[in-house]
Structure 1
Amino acid sequence: MKKLTIWLRDEARMTERRTPLLPEGAKELMAAGIDVVVEKSDKRIFKNALYENAGCTMAEPGAWEQAPTDAVILGLKELPAAPRALEHTHIYFAHAFKKQSGWQSLLTRFMRGGGSLLDIEYMKGDDGRRVAAFGFWAGYMGAALALLQWHDQKVGRPSYINEGLMPHESAKALDHLISSRAMAGEKPTALVIGAGGRSGSGAIKILERHGVEVTKWGRAETKDVDREAILGHDLLINCAYVTGQIPPFLAPHHIKADSRLKVISDVSCDPFSDYNPLPLYSAPTCWKTPAIAAKSHEGRVDLIAVDNLPSLLPTEASIEFATMMLPYLKSLRDRAQDPVWVNCNASYQHACDTMTKSEVA
């Protein structure tokens, strides 16, 4: 049997510093008989020399396009716009299986080139639970940004986060920053929706660490949404994972001038989906200006919707996520026997079938 090659690509997004594969993990893969190629990157939080010292074959950024067709290309965020035809198997977060913006053109690239897409979001066991996610640090960072924004609002000073985001050296450094911006005796209240998941637990941890009173909602509380209760908190942190059509948690006409709610952090950040429970914005916010005014008919609520929040804590996020991913990278050689990869591939095939049927119709 020919050896499997896993090819870690450089990320196209300039602000993406995380990695799904650590140097130590690469060494384990090679010990298991898998070849590992790593594209050099000036952005990745773990330096090129660490991968080289681990024994990886190094390649130039973007060289995956010329990789052998049986190499599996590993990444995190979106691919560059070229090439038009994708002939490899790619593993990354594609955000295409819920008919998000651009989903048809992306799937067409794979179908045109004969490649396939194993979307990390759909790596699930037979129990339907995801096996690898950045959720904890996404919730942690999303709540931290909301807290920083609220403290600046409270004293009427310019927004610290809207001066532009930069990755933090560590979670401890982030804690110090929040404490330095906080007013003595001033603590907001926060509502975390999706409190029982990974993102929700991350949000709750940092909020409670900084003395915030947290209300925790799960599925039961969102079956019949109490919007007055939402508007009665200072902060809303949305960590809900929505896979079907539901009434919005908040729409523009729900926001009133006298609402207590002043900051929303949409950690789930799915504005291009028909399932978006917070239709208050049309696109993710960016690192340059992470907080914008939410769409509303009355009042002002700042909204944060950064779609790669864990990149702001790239070391901790990469270590946790890569540890979860490693067993499944090892099983890629026999992925037809691994339920996680079988389910992942089935999601891709279903998305392709859905697109083909919609085009015929």
Structure 2
Amino acid sequence: MKIGLIKEGKIPADKRVSFTPDQLAALAEKYAGQLSFFVESSQVRCFTDLEYQEAGIEVVYDISFCDLLMGIKEVPIEQLIENKTYLFFSHTIKKQSHNRKLLQAILEKNISLIDYELLKDQQGNRTVAFGRWAGIVGAYNGLWTYGQKSGLFDLKRAFECFDREEIKRELRKVQLPPIKIVVTGTGRVAKGVKEVLDEVGIRSVQQKDFLVQYFDEPVYTVLSGSDYNRRKTDGGFDKEEFYNSPDKYESHFLKYTEVSDILIAAAYWDHRAPKLFQLEDLRSEDFSLSVIADITCDINGSVPTTLRVSTIADPVFDIDRDTFTELPAFGKQTSISVMAIDNLPTELPRDASDEFGSQLTTHFIPELLQEKSSVLEKATITKDGDLTIEFIYLKDYVDERENFEKDDEEY
């Protein structure tokens, strides 16, 4: 089997890659005679063509001879090669409207599409993801935003740092007053956030203490869904019911907005679930949030101030508390500054790619070598010009009989 790493075509181009040069060299040696690897030449990839060549991997300008084509972000329709197998984050399984035409084209071109997001173990847990790096960069950017707004410290932008070690060195510059930071989520992303906050020396405290106590140092607390969602009928919480029927619940997150200075949103959100707060809540004198780092980056999602996605080049916009309209970043001291970059891991692409490639080496490559893999079958959205059984529910979406606006990243 010939495996090709494609050049990212989506604009702006993502710098991440599925495997590092060293990882491909190791795989080529281990699976000699079974798998061969090729890299499509790219000027933007975080690892240069020369680095791959020095590792003994052939760099080509035409990748169409490969059997499996691996990328990161969605492949532009005009760059899809018919009758091939692709593996990338397609952002189609939740019927994201902006990628409907992509899935239509994939079917028309008889492409087999495997999605990273669907690679799972026997317990249903995802085996490959960039979540930790989204959390690391998202937390760093949240602190950078606070530093810019307060003028208390000045960090390099994350993308200007060569690697994770340089991020650690930059974090030594952070000097915070006794503020409170609230973090939503307990998964990979939130663990990445916690990693950064702990490095800075910010103390983690229990939710109850966070709400009622004064601290003479900066502190943070981490919330799970049960900490800020309650059943509408009796105020209770049942995890299974919440996941299956989140519309039966309401948010009671406002008590955290009354005592917090920074919100780092790192929890997956179902479009049926309640929002953390409403825009109207911003007008309250009790609403204390000054900076919001929305790693989830759902437009019109759990964080209503995320009116749009921001970019690495232009990472922050402000929201006026009275009119709810967008202002330039740090335009008013009283406005809320929002960081909502939707491709955070690409700010530390070498580290993120290295960890991602390790996950693929462990969990994906062995499945690829099996004569029949249930893991790959369940992760395959299209095959032989049609939707697979697992994803037949996308038929109305493909046929344009439904209109969905939900958007999710690959974290």
| TM-score, with structure 2 as normaliser | 0.75
Aligned partner of residue 220 in structure 1, secondary structure: helix
The answer on 1:186 being equivalent to 2:177 is: yes
The answer on 1:229 being equivalent to 2:235 is: no
| Kept after mapping to 2: 8 A contact 1:85/1:112 | no
- 2:296 partner letter: S
Measure how far apart 1:53 and its partner are: 2.9
Going from structure 1 to structure 2, the CA distance change for 1:319 and 1:111 (only over 3 Å counts) comes to same
Going from structure 1 to structure 2, the CA distance change for 1:221 and 1:334 (only over 3 Å counts) comes to same
| Kept after mapping to 2: 8 A contact 1:126/1:339 | no
Alpha-carbon RMSD across the aligned residues, in angstroms, is 2.8
Q: How does 1:249-268 map to 2 (within 5 A)?
A: 249-256=276-283, 258=285, 259-268=287-296
Supply the distance in 1 between the matched residues of 2:118 and 2:368 (Cα, whole angstroms): 19
Going from structure 1 to structure 2, the CA distance change for 1:141 and 1:84 (only over 3 Å counts) comes to closer
The answer on 1:331 being equivalent to 2:366 is: yes
Supply the distance in 1 between the matched residues of 2:320 and 2:373 (Cα, whole angstroms): 44
Q: How does 1:209-228 map to 2 (within 5 A)?
A: 209-212=199-202, 213-224=219-230, 225-228=251-254
The answer on 1:284 being equivalent to 2:309 is: yes
Supply the distance in 1 between the matched residues of 2:309 and 2:96 (Cα, whole angstroms): 13
What 5-or-longer segments of structure 2 have no aligned partner?
Answer: 203-218, 231-250, 324-333, 402-411
Structure whose alpha-carbon radius of gyration is higher: 2
Supply the distance in 2 between the matched residues of 1:328 and 1:356 (Cα, whole angstroms): 29
Supply the distance in 2 between the matched residues of 1:318 and 1:360 (Cα, whole angstroms): 35
Q: How does 1:197-216 map to 2 (within 5 A)?
A: 197-212=187-202, 213-216=219-222
1:349 to 362, 383, 388: 388
Measure how far apart 1:352 and its partner are: 5.4
Supply the distance in 1 between the matched residues of 2:20 and 2:309 (Cα, whole angstroms): 28
Deviations 1:150-197 (A, max 9, x none): 12222389x978xx76341122322333443x44x5243211111x21
Aligned partner of residue 137 in structure 1, secondary structure: helix
Supply the distance in 2 between the matched residues of 1:87 and 1:296 (Cα, whole angstroms): 52
**Size of the alignment, in residue pairs?**
344
Q: Which residue of 2 aligns with 1:176?
A: 169
1:17 to 15, 18, 23: 15
Supply the distance in 2 between the matched residues of 1:86 and 1:321 (Cα, whole angstroms): 27
| Kept after mapping to 2: 8 A contact 1:15/1:311 | no
Deviations 1:193-216 (A, max 9, x none): 11x211101101111221331111
Supply the distance in 2 between the matched residues of 1:176 and 1:23 (Cα, whole angstroms): 26
Deviations 1:201-245 (A, max 9, x none): 110111122133111111222432322233121111111123452
Measure how far apart 1:108 and its partner are: 0.1
* Identity rate, percent: 22
Aligned partner of residue 122 in structure 2, secondary structure: coil
Going from structure 1 to structure 2, the CA distance change for 1:124 and 1:176 (only over 3 Å counts) comes to same
Supply the distance in 2 between the matched residues of 1:147 and 1:134 (Cα, whole angstroms): 20
Aligned partner of residue 293 in structure 1, secondary structure: strand
- Structure 1 segments, 4+ long, off by >6 Å, are none
Supply the distance in 2 between the matched residues of 1:81 and 1:345 (Cα, whole angstroms): 19
Measure how far apart 1:115 and its partner are: 0.3
Q: How does 1:53-132 map to 2 (within 5 A)?
A: 53-60=54-61, 63-64=62-63, 67-68=64-65, 71-83=67-79, 86-132=82-128
Q: Which residue of 2 aligns with 1:240?
A: 267
- 2:256 partner letter: I
What 5-or-longer segments of structure 1 have no aligned partner?
Answer: none
Aligned partner of residue 360 in structure 2, secondary structure: helix
Measure how far apart 1:52 and its partner are: 1.8
Question: Quick check: 136-145 or 341-350, which moved more?
Answer: 341-350
Question: Quick check: 334-343 or 47-56, which moved more?
Answer: 334-343
Measure how far apart 1:336 and its partner are: 6.3
| Kept after mapping to 2: 8 A contact 1:41/1:48 | yes
Aligned partner of residue 37 in structure 1, secondary structure: strand
| Kept after mapping to 1: 8 A contact 2:3/2:70 | yes
Supply the distance in 2 between the matched residues of 1:27 and 1:84 (Cα, whole angstroms): 27
| Kept after mapping to 2: 8 A contact 1:14/1:43 | no
Going from structure 1 to structure 2, the CA distance change for 1:283 and 1:97 (only over 3 Å counts) comes to farther
- 1:317 partner letter: A
Supply the distance in 1 between the matched residues of 2:374 and 2:224 (Cα, whole angstroms): 28
- 1:5 partner letter: K
Supply the distance in 1 between the matched residues of 2:199 and 2:279 (Cα, whole angstroms): 31
Supply the distance in 2 between the matched residues of 1:152 and 1:91 (Cα, whole angstroms): 39
Q: Which residue of 1 aligns with 2:213?
A: none
- 1:265 partner letter: A
Supply the distance in 1 between the matched residues of 2:170 and 2:197 (Cα, whole angstroms): 14
| Kept after mapping to 2: 8 A contact 1:136/1:200 | yes
Query: Of Structure 1 and Structure 2, which has the larger fraction of its residues in helix?
Result: 1
Supply the distance in 1 between the matched residues of 2:168 and 2:178 (Cα, whole angstroms): 15
| Kept after mapping to 2: 8 A contact 1:238/1:265 | yes
Going from structure 1 to structure 2, the CA distance change for 1:28 and 1:337 (only over 3 Å counts) comes to farther
Supply the distance in 2 between the matched residues of 1:312 and 1:76 (Cα, whole angstroms): 14
| TM-score, with structure 1 as normaliser | 0.85
